[in-house]
Amino acid sequence: MRKSLVIATLIGAFAAPSWADSFHGAPHDRAVLHEGEMAIGHPGDPALIGRTIRVSMRDAPDGAMTFDPAALEIAAGETVRIVLANDGAMPHEFVMATEAEIDGHREEMRGVADMPHDADFAARVGPDDQASLVWTFANAGSFVFACLIPGHYEAGMHGRLIVG
């Protein structure tokens, strides 16, 4: 009885902020999500990093924007450092989540002024700069990563993240 109450409380705490709130919301919302488990996994312990993956963020003079590589394959349970190198001329983001979460957030962003995303599962990187994320991909599944700066996804800036 008491145990189920605790579990219900925990589920409520993790479910309360929407996925988008986790990087737009108040700091306390973020803190809750830091403790929580997302479908894609959770922040990784640097001591457990098995490998480093470099992802280049690019924008071409013709307007095409890309991630290279555009697909990542990671073993379920693997902890990796993802180094995000902005080799382009403009700022870019890397946000990883389920496809539904990314699509839903792109809808929310329509007509909204640009808002930076910053969380354990996301980073904004300026030109000629780099950032890194340490993440444990706890669950097998198909996920996506994308740049959510307005217009960038549409210009090609998204990729597949296969955990299996």
Among 55, 144, 147, 161, binds Cu ion (CB under 5 A): 147
Of 89-118, binders to Cu ion (CB under 5 A) are 92
Among 157, 159, 161, 163, binds Cu ion (CB under 5 A): 157
Distance CA 12, CA 109 (A): 26
Q: Which residue number, 16 or 89, has a Cβ lying nearer to Cu ion?
A: 89
Among 32, 133, 148, 149, binds Cu ion (CB under 5 A): 149
How far does Cα 89 stand from its chain's mean position? 22
Distance CA 49, CA 134 (A): 7
Q: Which residue number, 42 or 145, has a Cβ lying nearer to Cu ion?
A: 145
How far does Cα 93 stand from its chain's mean position? 9
CB 56 within 8 A of CB 37: no
Query: Reduced to 3 states, what is the DSSP secondary structure of residue 100?
Result: helix
Kindly state the smallest distance separating residue 148's Cβ from Cu ion, in Å.
8
Per-residue binder mask for Cu ion (CB under 5 A), 122-141, x = binder: --------------------
Angle value at C-alpha 95, between 91 and 97, nearest 5 degrees: 165
Q: How many residues bind Cu ion (CB under 5 A)?
A: 5
Kindly state the smallest distance separating residue 155's Cβ from Cu ion, in Å.
8
Strands 158-163 and 71-74: parallel
Residue whose structure tokens are 């922040």: 43
Kindly state the smallest distance separating residue 114's Cβ from Cu ion, in Å.
11
Q: Which residue number, 12 or 61, has a Cβ lying nearer to Cu ion?
A: 61
Distance CA 8, CA 89 (A): 47
Kindly state the smallest distance separating residue 47's Cβ from Cu ion, in Å.
31
User: Interface with Cu ion by CB under 5 A: which residues?
Assistant: 92, 147, 149, 152, 157
